[in-house]
Every structure is written in structure tokens, then in C-alpha cells.
Amino acid sequence: MQDTQAKQDIKTDILVIGAGSGGLSVAAGAVQMGADVTLLEAHKMGGDCLNYGCVPSKALIASAKTAHAMAHAAPYGVADAAPQVDYAAAKDHVAEVIATIEPVDSQERFEELGVRVIRETGRFVTDRVVEAGPWRITARRIVIATGSSPFVPPIPGLEDVPYLTNETIWDLRTRPDHLLIIGGGPIGMEMAQAHRRLGSQVTVIEGDRALGKDDPELAGIVLDTLRDEGIEIAENALAQEVRQAGDAIEVETKDGRVFRGSHLLVAVGRKANTEALNLKAAGIETTKTGVKVDDSLKTTNRRVYAIGDAAGGLQFTHVAGYHAGIVIRSALFGLPAKARTEHLPWATYTQPELAHVGLTEAQARKAHGDKLEVARFAYNHNDRAIAERKTKGLIKVMVVKGRPVGASITGHQAGELIALWSLAISGGLKMSTISGMVAPYPTISELNKRVAGAYFTPRLFENDLVKKVVRLVQRWLP
């Protein structure tokens, strides 16, 4: 039925559709620089990251780490203690963390900044007009920042059984006896380890290779650790049917294996939230993964940008924040700005962590062939890692003509360490710059300096010419 009620007209400089991390960054930056900004959000302020993704998952992981530490304290001279896990209380901890961060993303804060916040779904009606509830909004520039939601694959029988996603698992108050997880990517593996450490049996069912987008050598270290903790990881196990079997849920795979558990989490990926936008009316094209954008994040409608998950690329909060900066530069100042991808890192917050930026070793070998050198340094040679018994890990840096083109790290604080390599790639720094820095001793951050040193080791210590020059100089020195 067509809405016959008259719409209230709003004219604005910047219309942001979606109040996730990217949309909020654009809105806050634009309004503080003098633009008239309107923000649409029909659901929760803060988007997926605050309410269902990054924040709650890391909070639950923190609870799980604490339980694991209690049960494995003996190597530090402290008696092991069986943790008494209160799963509902752990979820209370998650809720408290969200509530603590929530005011920063709240409607009240953004209205205080001067943003016009409308809690309605937006829908394009022309190339520059969006309708939202009783409002008809005309904007000079529009930013699609609608994020993504869990992709639920069309597995026969799935619609007939209760299943969880990364959005609904936070409502679960009773610890699963046996959690089945379809999907062995970052979300699946993080939730697998967290729930195992909180006392659940866990089985991960992955149709290909678990952590398949990461360096196989480093991913293998993580997967071995998870298996050692008692997690069953079934790879090359494509889910073919899901069914209820009494009080249990069964997942049958293409090769005939059957996995049985009490709860099911579907974590096979995410899809961009674009269906409700009526993009065709605005002349905006889409791809299989999201809105079609160019290097400046403009859509096929030059007045409209798409950022973050909606843009169909890397689906990370920090990428959405990076995109916001590109859009502000372009939309507010009319300056040329292009989004790059080679310096964008990602991390999986298992223990050990797994982080990456730039090209993997396989990608670098394919792109650079014999020009590639790979510098390696193991955690078990880092004194701080030894002191804290966190020696399981490895850092690899892919180097071409003295400059890093990629880095992969697994181990303690890998997500922290990878930031330096993002800086190095972004700034075009040489390995000599990294080796010349001074890291405080003893710290995990020394690993970055030491791997740069490992790159120069064969040049300095295994080079006959260098040795000859040193001996010659020593003869002539007074």
C-alpha cells in the first residue's frame, strides 16, 4: 500500500544511513567540521560491532581466558583451581562492557554534537532523496553505512531447528552442553575456544580449511592449540543436512559424517545490508558482496558513497573507520582521496592470536617470485614470552627490495604487534627503519625489531665480504 501521508521535508549536507562504527565516524567528523548532518538508524546505535560483534565477543573471550588461566596456573607456582563458571554471569559481564561503551555511540551524544538523528529505515526514492518514516530527506551527499548481518546458508533442514548466530548467541543464558559450530572462520574459532574454556564441548564443522584465509603455517599453530584444548575441528566437512534428533541437533556432512550436539551456531560469513535501500531508484549498482564502489568509495551514483561492510570488501570495524576518513576528505572538502587495502590488518582473537597485513607468503611468492625474501622469528627466542610462558608463536615478514609487503603473526599479542607492520607498509618504510627502532626490554614488541634483525643477519653475519672488510679495518684502526 502506498503511503499517502505528506512527508516532512529535510534538507541536509550529509545524510548517513547506518549508525555503526563507520557511519558514526562520518557523522561525528562532518558535524564537528561545520556540515549539516542527518543520521538514520532503525535499530541499535553502535551497529554490529558494539552490540553483536567485536565488543561482546572480546568480553566473553576475556571471561574464558580467566577461566583457562585458573585451570592452568601450576607452571607459575600457583595451584591449579577448577573454575566455577557461571555462564549467565559471564553474559552479564558482556552486557556491562557494552553498557560502558554505549554512551559514546548513543543518540544523545550525537544530538549534543549537532547531528539530526532519526530512528527509521531509509529508502531511496530518487538519486538524492531518501524517505525514512514521515521524513523526506534531500542531501548533497549520502553515505551508505548499513553494515552487514549473518549469512545463513540454505542448508536443508536448518530452518526447522533452533540455531544461533553472532547476533542471537548473546541472549543465551544457559551454557551449551555441546556447541556445534558451522563455519571455521574467525567468528567460529573465537566462539569455539571461548565456549570450550567456559566448559562446553565444542565441535567446529568447516566445509574447507579452518582459518582458510590466513597463512596455513600460522593458522596450523592456532588450530593445533585449539585441538589440544579439546575442540573437535572437522575440516573438508561440508554441511549437507541439519535435523532435530530428540533433544539434540544433528549436522550431516556431504561425506556422510554426522555430528551431534545440544546447540548450533551458524558462523559461515556475513552479507551486506542493502535490501531495504531501494538502490535501483538511485542508480546504484551492487555486486555479489555489497555496493559497487570505486577507489574513492563512490557508488555508481556520484553523490552517494558506501563504506565499511556495505562496500563489500574487508569486513572489519577498523576498515569502516578508515573509510570514514576517506569520505570526509572527499565529501566535505572536495579533495581527492582513495582507499587503499594493502595496509589494512586483521586479527583473530583466539589464544594464541592470529594477525595479518598485506600479502601472505603465498600471495607474495606469486606476485614477486624470486625477489621475495621471508624473514622469520619465533616467540621462543623472546625473553618476555619466555617469562610469561607464551612461547608458542611465530612472526613472518614478506620483504621485497628491502621493504615489507606483508606480515603474518601468530602468538601472544599478535593483534598488537601487527599495527607496526601496517604503519610500515602504509608509510613505505624500509626494514632498516624497523631494525633501527629501540623497543623496551623485556617486551613482546621486541619481536618486531628482532624479525627485522633476522632479515639482515645473512647480510651481516654470513657474508664473507663483510668479514674481510672488518678484518681490514681492524688492521688500520689505531
The CATH number given to whatever domain includes residue 359 is 3.30.390.30
Residue 80 lies in a domain: no
- Residue numbers of the domain that contains 124: 8-45+106-149+271-333
Kindly report which listed range (28-32, 158-162, 274-278, 312-316) carries the lowest average pLDDT score: 312-316
Is residue 436 marked as binding?
no
Is residue 147 marked as binding?
yes
Is residue 148 marked as binding?
yes
Q: Let me know whether 115 and 132 are in one domain.
A: yes
The stretch 305-319 carries a mean pLDDT of: 94
Q: Let me know whether 31 and 141 are in one domain.
A: yes
Answer yes or no: is pLDDT of 104 > 50.
yes
pLDDT given at position 5:
65
Q: Let me know whether 170 and 141 are in one domain.
A: no
Residue 100 lies in a domain: no
Q: Let me know whether 120 and 185 are in one domain.
A: no
Distance CA(416)–CA(373), nearest Å, equals 24
Q: Let me know whether 19 and 144 are in one domain.
A: yes
Q: What's the domain count of the chain? A: 3
pLDDT given at position 7:
83
Q: Let me know whether 387 and 447 are in one domain.
A: yes
Q: Let me know whether 275 and 135 are in one domain.
A: yes
CATH number of the structural domain spanning residue 38: 3.50.50.60
Is residue 269 marked as binding?
yes
Residue 220 lies in a domain: yes
Distance CA(346)–CA(335), nearest Å, equals 28
pLDDT digits (tens, 9 = 90+) for 119-139: 999 999 999 999 999 999 999
Grid-cell match 549437507, residue found = 240
Is residue 190 marked as binding?
yes
Question: Could you give the C-alpha distances from 303 to 10, 190, 274, in angstroms and in order?
Answer: 17, 39, 17
Exposed/middle/buried for residue 171 (C-beta within 10 Å: 0-12, 13-18, 19+): exposed
Residue 72 lies in a domain: no
Answer yes or no: is pLDDT of 2 > 60.
no
pLDDT given at position 3:
53
Q: Let me know whether 275 and 261 are in one domain.
A: no
Is residue 411 marked as binding?
no
pLDDT given at position 343:
96
Residues forming beta bridges with residue 201, ordered by sequence position: 178
Q: Let me know whether 169 and 308 are in one domain.
A: no
Is residue 184 marked as binding?
yes
Give the H/E segment covering residue 431. Answer: helix 431-436
Residue 306 lies in a domain: yes
pLDDT digits (tens, 9 = 90+) for 404-445: 999 999 999 999 999 999 999 999 999 999 999 999 999 999
Answer yes or no: is pLDDT of 461 > 80.
no
Residue 95 lies in a domain: no
pTM: predicted TM-score of the whole model, two decimal places: 0.93
Q: Let me know whether 216 and 277 are in one domain.
A: no
Q: Let me know whether 142 and 219 are in one domain.
A: no
Exposed/middle/buried for residue 41 (C-beta within 10 Å: 0-12, 13-18, 19+): buried
Residue 475 lies in a domain: no
Distance CA(455)–CA(474), nearest Å, equals 26
With vertex at residue 420, the alpha carbon angle to CA 416 and CA 423, rounded to the nearest 5 degrees, is: 130
Q: Let me know whether 245 and 283 are in one domain.
A: no
Distance CA(164)–CA(284), nearest Å, equals 33
Is residue 186 marked as binding?
yes
pLDDT given at position 1:
39
Residue 66 lies in a domain: no
Distance CA(167)–CA(354), nearest Å, equals 23
What percentage of residues in the chain have a pLDDT greater than 90?
Answer: 93
Is residue 288 marked as binding?
no
Domain boundary among 269, 286, 320: 269
Query: Position 307: which residue type?
Result: I
On average, the pLDDT of the chain sits at 95
Is residue 231 marked as binding?
no
